[in-house]
Structure 1
Amino acid sequence: MKKARFYGTIKVLFSTVCFLLSLNAVAQEKPDKPGASAQELADKLANPVASLISVPFQNNLNYGIGPFNGSKYTVNFQPVIPFKISDNLNLITRYIIPIVDQRDITGENTHQFGLSDATITAFFAPKAKGIIYGIGPAFLVPIATDKVLGTEKFGIGPSVLLMHQGKGLSVGFIANQIWSVAGNDNRADVNQFYTQIFFSHSYKSGANLGINAEITQNWEGNTTAISLNPSIGAVSKLGSQVIQFSLSPLIPIVGPRESRPDWGLRVILSFVFPGK
C-alpha cells in the first residue's frame, strides 16, 4: 500500500512538471508587460524583497523519516505582498501557512493531517540595485490544528535579508531568529534560528538554475538540520496568468534521526502578479 501511494505521488508530480515544461516551451519573451522580459521577471522572483505580488504553493515530499520510516507531505501556502511606504522604501510581507499530511512519524500506523504553525515576516526594504537588503520582525503564530503539528507557542524575533543581484545572477541569504514569548506552559519553549543561503542564474527564456542550503538550528533542543537543494525552474503562462514553477530534490546533510528524512522532493508553483 505504501509503495502504491509513493509511486502514485511520483507519477502525479512527474506529469505536472512535464505539463508545465511544455507550457514554457511556447511562452512569450514578454510575459507580463511591455519592457519586462521573462528574464527580468525571473530575476525579480529571485529577490525576496522585490516589489512584486506572488502566491507560491510550495509542495514538499519527504520519505524515510525517523524510526518508523515515515512520510510527510507539506504544502506551504506562502503569498508575498508588498506595500509602498515611500518612493524609496517598501514593506514586503511574507506569509508561510503549512498544510501537513504525515504518516508513521509519531508511531507505526499513525496519521496526522491539518495546519501547522504559520510564520509571518515583514521586511523594510529600501529600493536598491546591486546590493539589496531588508530587515524587520518575524512572528510565529500557533494556528496548528493538531498539537503534534505545532508548538502551541507564539513567537517573535528579527529577520534579515542581504543579497547581491545583477542581470541573470542572484546570490545572498535570508535569516530569522524566533523566541517564544507566550503560549502553553506545558510545551517546550521555541528558540530557533533559520537561514537560507541561495544562488540562482536566470536565462533570457525565463528559465533558471539554482541551489540553496537551508539551515535550522534549534537552540532549545540542541539540534541542527541542514539540507542542500539544487533547483531548475522557469517563468511561463497559464492562459494570461504569469506563473513560475520549479523542481528541486531535497538532500538532507545533517539532522536528528527522529526527524531527518532519507530524501525529499520539492515542486513550487507560483502565481505572479507583476502589476502595471
Structure 2
Amino acid sequence: MKLFKRILVISVTAALSSLVSAQGSASDGGTDKVDIAKKLANPIADMISVPLQYEFSRGVGKTQGGSQQTLLFQPVMPFNLGGGDTFIVRPIVAGVREVSVQAANGQSFSGYGIASVTIESFYAPNTNSSWIWGIGPYAVSPSGNSGKFGSQQTGAGVTGVVLNRQGPWTYGLLGYQSWNMGGNPAFGTQNNLYGQPFIAFTTKNAFTYTVNMEAQYNYDTHRTSNPLYAGVSRLMVFDGVPLQLGAGPMYYVSNTPGGPSGWGARATATLVILK
C-alpha cells in the first residue's frame, strides 16, 4: 500500500515537473490549451471529456484505522439541442478498495468492488451571458454491492449547477437532491442533499488551480461528509489529443460515522475528445 502511494505521488510529481519545464505556449498544433483548460473547469461545457479520478482517504471504520481508495470513471457527454442549448449527461461509476475497515460488530474487512453507478444530467440553455446554469434528473444505483462500499438503496432526484466564467476565473455551485426509491437502509440511505461550491483559476500556460468543497448531508443520520480539496492541474496536447493531469491534498472538515476523516489525496487524468 505505502509503495503504491509513493509510486503514484512520484509519478504525478514528475509529470507536473516536466510540464513546468515544457514550452508554455497557449496553443499546440492549432489546439488552444487555455480554452480547453477553462472548459474543463466548467462541468456543463459543450465538450466531450473522459475524467478518471483516484482518491485516497484515511480514518475509515469504527476505530478510524482503515483506509479507502476510490476510482471514479465519469465521462461527460454533451448533446447539442440547437440554438446554443445543450443537454449534458454524466454517468459516474465508482470503484472502491477498502483496507482494515472495522465494522460496528468489531469485524475487520478488506476488499474491493463497485460502490455505485450514478447518472447526472443537465439541460443548459444558451444564456448569452458569462453566467450559465443547468438542471436535470439525477439517479443512483447500488449496483448490487454487499453494503461494504456504501448504501444499498436506489436514489432519484434532481441535480443543478450555476456558474460564472469571468476571464481566467470559473466559479459556481453544483448540487443535487436525492430521495430514497427503495432498498436496504442498513448501510445508509439515499436521502441526501449535496452541494459543491468551486472556484478555478486558469493561467496563460494552461495551469488550473482549483478549490472545492463537497458537502453531502444525510437527512436520516443528520450528519455531513465534507471534504475540502485544493489542487493544481496542467493541460497538455499529445499528437493533437488534449490530456489534463492534476493532483492535490484533501481534508475532511466533517464526516459521517465510519466514513473517511482527516487528510487524504486526489489525482486526476482527463482525456478530451475534440469534435
TM-score by shorter chain over 0.5: yes
Q: Which runs of 5+ in 1 are unaligned?
A: none
| TM-score, reference length from structure 1 | 0.90
Aligned length: 269
CA distance in structure 2 between the aligned counterparts of 1:186 and 1:63, rounded to whole angstroms? 23
Residues 75-114 of structure 1 correspond to what in structure 2 (within 5 A)?
75-107=71-103, 109-114=108-113
The offset of 1:185, in angstroms, is 7.1
RMSD over aligned Cα, in angstroms? 2.0
Matching residue's letter, 1:151: S
Q: Which moved more, 1:183-192 or 1:258-267?
A: 183-192
**Structure 2: gaps spanning 5 or more residues:** none
Q: What is the CA-CA distance between 1:87 and the residue it aligns to?
A: 2.1
Residue of structure 2 in register with 1:127 after alignment = 126
Q: Is 2:46 aligned against 1:51?
A: yes
Displacement after TM superposition at 1:39 (Å):
1.5
8 Å CA contact 1:24–1:237 kept in 2: the answer is: no
Which residue of the partner structure matches residue 12 of structure 1? Answer: 8
What amino acid does structure 1 have at the position aligned with 2:109?
T
**SS of the residue aligned with 2:148?**
helix
Whole-angstrom CA distance in 1 between matches of 2:264 and 2:51: 19
Work out the CA distance in 1 between the residues paired with 2:49 and 2:260.
Answer: 30
Change (3 A) 1:252 1:204: same
- Equivalent-residue separation in structure 2 for 1:257 and 1:142 (angstroms): 19
Structure 1 residues 232 and 46: CA distance shift in structure 2, 3 A: same
Q: Report the Cα distance in structure 2 between the residues aligned to 1:213 and 1:25, rounded to whole angstroms.
A: 31
Q: Is the 8 A contact 1:144 1:150 kept in 2?
A: no
User: For residue 18 of structure 2, what is the aligned residue in structure 1?
Assistant: 22
For 1:262 and 1:54, the matched residues in 2 are separated by 31
Give % identity. Answer: 25
Aligned-partner Cα distance in 1 for 2:66–2:12:
24
Counterpart residue number, 2:274: 274
Q: Within 2, Cα distance between the matches of 1:211 and 1:239?
A: 30
Three-state SS of the structure 2 residue aligned to 1:42 is helix
SS at match of 1:104: strand
Using the TM superposition, give the Cα deviation of residue 19 of structure 1 relative to its aligned residue in structure 2, in angstroms: 2.2
Query: What's the CA shift for 1:210?
Result: 1.8
Counting only pairs closer than 5 Å after superposition, residues 1-276 of structure 1 correspond to structure 2 as 5-23=1-19, 25-26=21-22, 29-31=26-28, 34=30, 37-66=32-61, 67-107=63-103, 109-128=108-127, 129-184=129-184, 189-275=189-275
Decide which moves more: 74-83 or 204-213.
204-213
One-letter code aligned to 1:55:
V
Matched to 1:29, the amino acid is A
